[in-house]
Structure 1
């Protein structure tokens, strides 16, 4: 059996790579088309993960014996090809999510600009009123605490507020609030549209849209100065 020193280096995957996502073509697709591409990538990644599972390996499993020879108990060539395809698709998925994030951010900005033309509250200019479409996303997080003087307080967030949307993040994709952290880090210094539901003194629900701008050097820790918990 021939010893292979570079067995863990991915092979060139069979079939065309979907790397054209990075050449800008996807930027001109509609949101529905972008979402369809996202779902297709997720489905293929899941299928490829199943291929690795069928061999009893993952992306880190050694493919050589302790003395450096290819393992005879697994299909090393297929595993290497599958791993390489997964790496390509994960890069494509990351590129696609960046495009989707920018698409949604621009969409939210256009909504905010339209709202700016209409009447707004003079007591809190960060709140764009409670005239929100009847179809609302289900809340996925709750504001636990706010630090005085923080970006969160400046935006108008209050403890007890329930978050329906945080930029492009909602109940279906927040991934244990990990996507909220990604959205914050990826939009430092930029406005993020946050849709919240707030209980008033009369126990009614008030639906609000707030502008939240993550920033450093506000005098406290983090980019927001608030603590939120998943619901």
Structure 2
């Protein structure tokens, strides 16, 4: 049920975002005071030409929606964490193979996923990364226990990979498909020695967001 709950919450998130945008557009229109600009002049008189009541009401609504947005993002993250754990269990219980693997689409909108924290900038031919199904420009959402909260400028990711040599790791990625739409995939990768450099055969760069 976690996936269904996350999808429902994501729809609520979109509605909140749309209302927040409408409020911001209203408050930042030409001649308006903005999100938190003053409603009185230097002598503390109300600035003429403004609908003070409506502006205060919009600002209060903006603050409430921001709080709602933070709360719903926490709930989405928790439901997705539950879903990731269930997918990881299914992957772990499935048949593993040393041959090239095909990533599994997990069917969650990228907008509902936790933040991607790294991007694959290079994948070497014949490497463990290529055999696992990783491709250049894949966005890494979760790499085993590592995500945007604990990757520590990718140092945490590197340490995690080194400490899990010859161990299968579940990875969740975002990838653009043939029609340039982002899809969410899960795959398994086993860091190991091979004829090339390192134990993965790929390079990561941190995301800019």
Q: TM-score, normalised by structure 2?
A: 0.54
- 2:120–2:137 CA contact under 8 A, matched in 1: yes
Number of the residue aligned with 2:160: none
Number of the residue aligned with 1:116: 92
Number of the residue aligned with 1:78: 54
Aligned-residue offset at 1:56 = 2.2
Specify whether residues 91 and 101 from structure 1 end up closer, same or farther in structure 2 by C-alpha distance, changes over 3 A only: same
Specify whether residues 86 and 165 from structure 1 end up closer, same or farther in structure 2 by C-alpha distance, changes over 3 A only: same
Number of the residue aligned with 1:40: 15
Number of the residue aligned with 1:53: 28
Q: Which runs of 5+ in 1 are unaligned?
A: 1-26, 146-155, 168-182, 198-206, 212-224
Matches within 5 A, 1:83-162: 83-121=59-97, 129-133=101-105, 142-144=119-121, 161-162=136-137
Q: TM-score, normalised by structure 1?
A: 0.50
Matches within 5 A, 1:176-191: 184-185=148-149
Aligned-residue offset at 1:185 = 1.9
State whether structure 2 residue 138 is matched by structure 1 residue 163. Answer: yes
Aligned residues: 154
Aligned-residue offset at 1:34 = 1.1
- 1:136–1:164 CA contact under 8 A, matched in 2: no
Aligned-residue offset at 1:48 = 1.5
Q: Which runs of 5+ in 2 are unaligned?
A: 111-115, 123-130, 157-168, 176-184, 190-202
- 1:164–1:196 CA contact under 8 A, matched in 2: yes
RMSD value over aligned CA atoms?
A: 4.5
Aligned-residue offset at 1:109 = 1.2
